[in-house]
Structure 1
Amino acid sequence: MLNPKNIVIVGASEKPGNWAERVWRNVHRYGFSGNVYPINASREEVWGVRCYPDCASLPEKPDHLVVLVPAVAVPDVLLDAAKAGARSATVMTSGFDELTDSASVDLATRLKKVIEETGLAVSGPNCLGNLNAKAKLVTIPDDRPLLLTPGPVAIISQSGGLATAMKRALQDRGIDVSAIVSSGNEAGLSTADYIQHFASDPDVRVIFSYLEAVSKPEPFLEACRAARACGKAVVVMKLGVSDIGREAAQAHTGALAGSMQAFDAVAGQVGVIRVDNLDSAVEAIELLAHAKLPAGKKLGAITFSGAMRGLMLDIGRGHGLEFADLAPATYEAMGNILGVGSILGNPLDGGFAALTKPTAYVELIETILADSNVDMLLLQEELPRDDGSTRKLKNLADVEAIAAKASKPIAFVSMLSYAMTDYSRELRRSLPHVPFLHEIDKSLKVVRSIMDYATTRPSPTRTAQPAANNPADRHLQSFAKDRIGPVIDEVRSKALLRDYGIAVPREYLCATAEEAATRAAEIGFPVVGKIVSSALPHKSDVGGVIVGLNSAKEVAEAFDRLIAVAEGLPQKPPIDGILVAEQASGSLELVLGASLDPEVGPVIMFGAGGIDIELTRDVALAGCPLDEKQARQLIAKTRISTIMGGYRGRPACDSESVVKALVGLSQLMFDAGGRITSIDVNPFLLSAKGGVALDGLVVLRK
């Protein structure tokens, strides 16, 4: 697809400005060396050359097709091309499953079937062509001139327009792009396939991907792992929070675990750097293409302005960055370089002394780089727009020489974004080991993201399979046999949780007030009474929970009240009985949960729980599988973790019981193999002596 022997343009037309003609023009304009054949069964000549009726009529085997015919004709075009010996195709035609009508969806299904049957490597449909600088290949129908120079960046985008915009932005910054793939609807090849390909390309250092949806979660995650293992950074801009394929928010976890949060949790663990916008993407690529990765998260900085120093401190704090406490020897050395009266700190405002003393600038850089407390050094500077500053040019050359040999990355940061000139871009090419980042806020945000990436241990591929007849299998088979679901009631949900090591209170499901009173006496007062119904996943919202029952009489009365509550509800939910449970005591209400995200698979959630969970939103997510170390890291991401450890005189809680429960949830989701949509354990009551799931809700995948 990116290195074809020849190109066949199907849908050739003389209509002015049509895409087929633009593709023809660009293929020749940029010097593609292979033959190019137009196909249109109704024409004998087009664009001044012979036009062929079909692939079988060509003078040689077709290799790569660019397809620009009506959607209904595309599957047959691919079938004929495959029979004639074609290996790949780019289908620019739209009108498939980006539309919602049944005819378009059916056509998309047929297209996928044809691709599978023929084995063609297909990009699209609904895409905008491809670019490969090495092969001098451009099938993108864009008349604006593109610089075709191999470079360290590959672009994969589900939007063709965005891909070319990124190419122009990077080109303006002096960053060369080796390849562009416009992936469109991904009926054939997916983003995962393209990442795998570029991961093995020795010339590519950074892979940028614009994603609207992850169509194949496991291959995508595995491709990102492969890229990380090959030393290639994957920078992703992800569009919005997608609700496609997600069940209604019947459990709290489903409501909270929006796909963007889930994407960050899972994709971040395999080495994806997600950015919020295209400006940040450009800065991330600039840094990754020109600098080494930092070994840690401690920054050093040198500025020439007190304002720049203050802004770095303020903005850096907002992005969670730490400007390191430098060693005493470093401060002493800086004082000797700058002279008496200088204000020393980090960031260092070098000011007049650093600008006027010929050797001071380089000496300061080497001194701070040598400090073991610094993992990355930022310098205030921007590229000049024209010649005329000998001192600045010498400083830039000196920094380039230091950066080329240093074990730590150095990056320039400007106060504001600025325009580049031809002079700037040419000068930039002579400084390949130092990034030039534009504007403090977006630069420091990107620095934080890349520091997180550099210091994150990629999660391993889980190659093991669920054990046969595991607890999840047994419960799920029982649910299917009894025709239960998709919402599983509290009693059955907690039975499943119990089999994965998650403690639950002593409790009994009761059918009569007399039975409830008897069971309460066995448990010991006080107890709690709850309505049990799969149709009432959140019982407390309708008055379906009564706490603090201290006698058999109170329990019997509560039983009757709860039955009356259920019978008085408009939906008349079916009732399985009343649950009488031990009223556990504890100091913290937590939430534990799991969700099957349609884009990245199973996700585990932890945070502050209770009825106000949606208001506090102190939760964190992590991907599966989850081991004990990763469970502790997940807990540490929340504010509630500080209270768990003992805060302002409070006793420390048994955090290890939470770790055990999270690992159990992770194993449950793994064993379920995609058959559970969500699990909600809220609240999980924690004390110094352990934790217990007071409520549980399991929702099955339909």
Structure 2
Amino acid sequence: MEAQVTAASAATATWSPPADASDVVKGIHAMLHPRNIVLVGATDKPGNYAERIWNNLIKYQYEGELYPINAKRETVWGVPCYKDFASLPDRPDHVLVLVPARFAVQVIRDAAAAGARSATIVTSGFAELQDEDSQRLAVELQQAIRETGLAVTGPNCLGNLSAGDKLFTNIDDRTVTMEAGPVAIAGQSGAIVMAIRQALEDRGVGVGYMVTTGNEAGLETPDLMSYFAADPQIRVIVVYLEGVRNTKAFRDACKAARAAGKPVIALKLGASEGGRAAAMAHTGALAGSIETFDAISTREGVIRVRGLDELIETAECFAHAAMPRGDRLAAVTLSGGKRGLLLDAFYSAGLNFAPLKQDAHDKLARMLGPGSIVGNPLDAGFAAVVDPSVYMQSIKIMIDDPDTDIVIIDAELPKAPHELRERNLRIVNDMAGRGGKPVIYISAMSIGFTEFTKALRKSLPNITVMQGMDRAVTAIKSLIDYARLRKEVPDIVSSSKAPARALLEKTLKSANGAALDEVASKKLLKAYGIPISKEGIAQTAADAAAIAKEIGYPVVAKVVSADILHKSDIGGVVLNLGSAAEVKKAFNDISARVKQLKGKPKLEGILIAQQVKADLELVVGASLDAEMGPVVLFGTGGVDIELMKDVALAGAPLDEDEARQLIARTKAGVKMKGYRGKPALHEASAVKALVGLSNLIADAGSRIASIDVNPFLINARTGVAVDALIVLNNEAAKSAAGH
């Protein structure tokens, strides 16, 4: 095994990006594999960051040259100290910036002028603070990084790890194993990233790279993801995200990782309102809806975990498990109670154990003997007490069975030498290596790894070792879902027609309020192919009656005003109008209510619309997420929208296949298929509405904040939008939201 580790380390150290790699990837390579490291702000004041980083570089025997710089010192840490970059015996390569924030910008410019290729700014005191001077320094730093082209991590970060090069420019004083492992970690919080690395190491999982990105004034986490996707030694990418600043860069990085067959395991801050507020305060990141993040990133192959324990189990799973061909589970246990726990945990997650085929069943029945209950999961406990070889034979049958895709073994690694258990583990490791299917050991609860356990675990590269039943099940489900994804998913572009885009531009240019009124909103929706109910706008009661007669009763009367976003709240909607007299009365009543409102909203008229009989009320909508960009929504609508919370999200634009997949993720989608003997509803109209909405929000860029079509009424013959609100992303809309 030592020979394998050494070979892996050498391969990582000698790998270089191809000539056609991006400048960002080449810059990160220079940062993680530098010829020399310069520490600007070197001081031997006990316990400071500079000294801790120096001690780590010496401790782990970084093989490049180390140059401390401090204009006031001739020696530091027992070695010569240089006054500036010009005094160095060699051109600087990677620069660690450890000076106060007010000097950092000039250091970056001087480093670039001297020939440096990359830098890490450990110093804090920039965008994470709210005072005017810190914010000004943050802007100046970003400008210097852009102008010099240096690959820069930080500021306000804690340094990096490149195990293959024995590079540890980090303040962490816990022991690090300098072996190039299959996992790479990047994230904005140095403390969390370092904790992840330590936890993985404690479990015997090797970490090849660890990068703390801090405020991300230069390199951002997606840049590191792209680099890790290109490095052939990395199998799993782990990221901690406080916010996504550049949606396109993030999605491009996810696509690169997916094309390389490398899962991105993400711990994302912002799953709660409190978490989103913390992200804003910590790094100034714009944090959006976690549901939107999931909807868009999952399509790109991202696995979002809900906590650090789940992250560790998921990373362990993907670092060692082969990709399964399917979801047919098999399990071997030595306890009836553990068998029950396995069944409960996996069935609760929607995963099933495959029924044993006759051949495998007969083999196990003959081996276990009369009276044994042969099934999957298999409880081999009683028979194994009589004949210990039965346990290993049972595992072999399950692994060799062509009708199983994943084999689960209920067992944990020993904490001390144990000849029989060690021998069995090595036999299973060899079988897993030959069989090419995941073999996963699960302990029902978390246990500590001793140094012996960690060493043993490293010697078993073909098996996965997981702890905690629930977390293991979640990780295995993620493994199955990831294996089903195609490596490459084509970008979907807007399929809208030129006339629709022309109307969009005309409408947005002429708009001057916080939102479009219902008539203007529906006109735009209709241009984008979204079915609209029959309707007309009336300026007088007589007009209203004439429009109603032309449409046919019953009809609905609704106020039309861009200043009134929620019509029902002010009595601006009257239903079930069945005669001219009722229509005229509704017109006059609504007009009178509007005149009594504070602020004197402008009344554009009263909309008289066809009242559609619906078998189901849906909501379809779209919005511009602060982090992830345009997204569409589908689900149960009408008055039940808040109560049911039956909605699903997807990134925009969509094609018809993705629209159908979105519908299928909801209870409303189940009802549309013909629930409990009822006729199937007109799904094609909902698909058309979703595709049209997705094109509209995508074409608008950042100019439309949200589109709300609630309800979208659907029956067996048709589906139509009967109400619509388009909120603009302009100063008027922001002012209205503030009120």
TM-score range for the pair, normalised by the shorter chain length: over 0.9
| Correspondence 1:78 to 2:108 | yes
- Identify the residue that residue 431 of structure 1 maps to in structure 2: 460
- The SS at the match of 2:165 is coil
| Correspondence 1:322 to 2:352 | yes
Among candidates 683, 705, 724, match of residue 696 of structure 1: 724
Deviation at 1:48?
2.8
- Identify the residue that residue 475 of structure 1 maps to in structure 2: 504
Among candidates 340, 343, 350, match of residue 373 of structure 2: 343
- Identify the residue that residue 420 of structure 2 maps to in structure 1: 391
1:125–1:185 CA contact under 8 A, matched in 2: yes
| Correspondence 1:157 to 2:187 | yes
- Change in CA separation of 1:351 and 1:222 when aligned onto 2, cut-off 3 Å: same
For residue 243 of structure 2, what is the amino acid of its counterpart?
A: A
For residue 131 of structure 1, what is the amino acid of its counterpart?
A: L
CA distance in 1 between partners of 2:502 and 2:348 (Å): 47
| Correspondence 1:334 to 2:380 | no
Deviation at 1:419?
0.8
CA distance in 2 between partners of 1:402 and 1:68 (Å): 51
Where relative contact order (Cα < 8 A, 6+ residues apart) is larger, the structure is 1
For residue 442 of structure 2, what is the amino acid of its counterpart?
A: V
* Poorly superposed stretches of 4+, deviation over 6 Å: 465-468
1:466–1:670 CA contact under 8 A, matched in 2: no
Deviation at 1:355?
5.0
1:644–1:655 CA contact under 8 A, matched in 2: yes
CA distance in 2 between partners of 1:73 and 1:435 (Å): 48
Deviation at 1:473?
4.4
| Correspondence 1:668 to 2:696 | yes
2:399–2:431 CA contact under 8 A, matched in 1: no
- Identify the residue that residue 639 of structure 1 maps to in structure 2: 667
Deviation at 1:182?
0.5
Deviation at 1:502?
0.8
For residue 577 of structure 1, what is the amino acid of its counterpart?
A: G
- The SS at the match of 1:76 is helix
- Identify the residue that residue 476 of structure 2 maps to in structure 1: 447
1:361–1:395 CA contact under 8 A, matched in 2: no
Among candidates 632, 643, 654, match of residue 615 of structure 1: 643
1:410-468, Cα deviation, whole Å (9 max, x unpaired):
10111111011111112112211001100111110111122112112356353868879
Among candidates 536, 543, 565, match of residue 564 of structure 2: 536
**Superposition pairs of residues 34-433 of structure 1, within 5 angstroms:** 34-241=64-271, 259-371=289-401, 373-388=403-418, 390-433=419-462
| Structure 1 stretch displaced more, 454-463 or 666-675 | 454-463
Deviation at 1:559?
1.0
CA distance in 1 between partners of 2:499 and 2:71 (Å): 60
CA distance in 2 between partners of 1:590 and 1:408 (Å): 43
- Change in CA separation of 1:468 and 1:25 when aligned onto 2, cut-off 3 Å: farther
| Structure 1 stretch displaced more, 670-679 or 165-174 | 670-679
- The SS at the match of 1:613 is helix
1:295–1:454 CA contact under 8 A, matched in 2: yes
| Structure 1 stretch displaced more, 598-607 or 329-338 | 329-338
| Structure 1 stretch displaced more, 469-478 or 227-236 | 469-478
1:292-326, Cα deviation, whole Å (9 max, x unpaired):
01122232212111221111222223222222233
Among candidates 514, 523, 533, match of residue 505 of structure 1: 533
- Identify the residue that residue 456 of structure 1 maps to in structure 2: 485
1:192–1:220 CA contact under 8 A, matched in 2: yes
CA distance in 1 between partners of 2:316 and 2:188 (Å): 22
Q: More helix per residue: 1 or 2?
A: 2
1:145-191, Cα deviation, whole Å (9 max, x unpaired):
21111111111111111111111111111111111110111111111
| Correspondence 1:604 to 2:626 | no
- The SS at the match of 2:164 is coil
Identity over the aligned pairs, expressed in percent? 50
CA distance in 2 between partners of 1:570 and 1:441 (Å): 56
CA distance in 2 between partners of 1:485 and 1:346 (Å): 64
- Change in CA separation of 1:298 and 1:624 when aligned onto 2, cut-off 3 Å: farther
2:429–2:463 CA contact under 8 A, matched in 1: yes
- The SS at the match of 1:612 is helix
- Change in CA separation of 1:242 and 1:59 when aligned onto 2, cut-off 3 Å: farther
1:265–1:622 CA contact under 8 A, matched in 2: yes
**Superposition pairs of residues 506-521 of structure 1, within 5 angstroms:** 506-521=534-549
Deviation at 1:349?
1.7
| Correspondence 1:648 to 2:665 | no
| Structure 1 stretch displaced more, 683-692 or 96-105 | 96-105
CA distance in 1 between partners of 2:209 and 2:383 (Å): 46
For residue 55 of structure 1, what is the amino acid of its counterpart?
A: F
- Change in CA separation of 1:103 and 1:35 when aligned onto 2, cut-off 3 Å: same
- Identify the residue that residue 622 of structure 2 maps to in structure 1: 594
- The SS at the match of 2:699 is helix
- The SS at the match of 1:89 is strand
| Structure 1 stretch displaced more, 340-349 or 126-135 | 340-349
Deviation at 1:222?
1.1
Aligned length in residues: 689
1:473–1:672 CA contact under 8 A, matched in 2: no
For residue 101 of structure 2, what is the amino acid of its counterpart?
A: A
Calculate the TM-score normalised by the size of structure 2. Answer: 0.89
| Correspondence 1:31 to 2:61 | yes
| Structure 1 stretch displaced more, 170-179 or 95-104 | 95-104
For residue 544 of structure 1, what is the amino acid of its counterpart?
A: G
Among candidates 592, 603, 607, match of residue 564 of structure 1: 592
CA distance in 1 between partners of 2:575 and 2:387 (Å): 76
Among candidates 565, 575, 578, match of residue 547 of structure 1: 575
For residue 446 of structure 2, what is the amino acid of its counterpart?
A: S
Deviation at 1:65?
0.9
Calculate the TM-score normalised by the size of structure 1. Answer: 0.94
Deviation at 1:344?
2.4
2:400–2:435 CA contact under 8 A, matched in 1: no
For residue 563 of structure 1, what is the amino acid of its counterpart?
A: S
1:388-425, Cα deviation, whole Å (9 max, x unpaired):
3x432232122112110113211011111101111111
CA distance in 1 between partners of 2:204 and 2:354 (Å): 32
For residue 162 of structure 2, what is the amino acid of its counterpart?
A: N
| Gaps in structure 1 of 5+ consecutive residues | 247-256
CA distance in 2 between partners of 1:90 and 1:206 (Å): 24
- Identify the residue that residue 254 of structure 1 maps to in structure 2: none
1:471-494, Cα deviation, whole Å (9 max, x unpaired):
2343233332x2434422211111
- Change in CA separation of 1:258 and 1:566 when aligned onto 2, cut-off 3 Å: farther
- The SS at the match of 1:93 is coil
1:176-211, Cα deviation, whole Å (9 max, x unpaired):
111111011111111111111111111111111111
2:631–2:649 CA contact under 8 A, matched in 1: yes
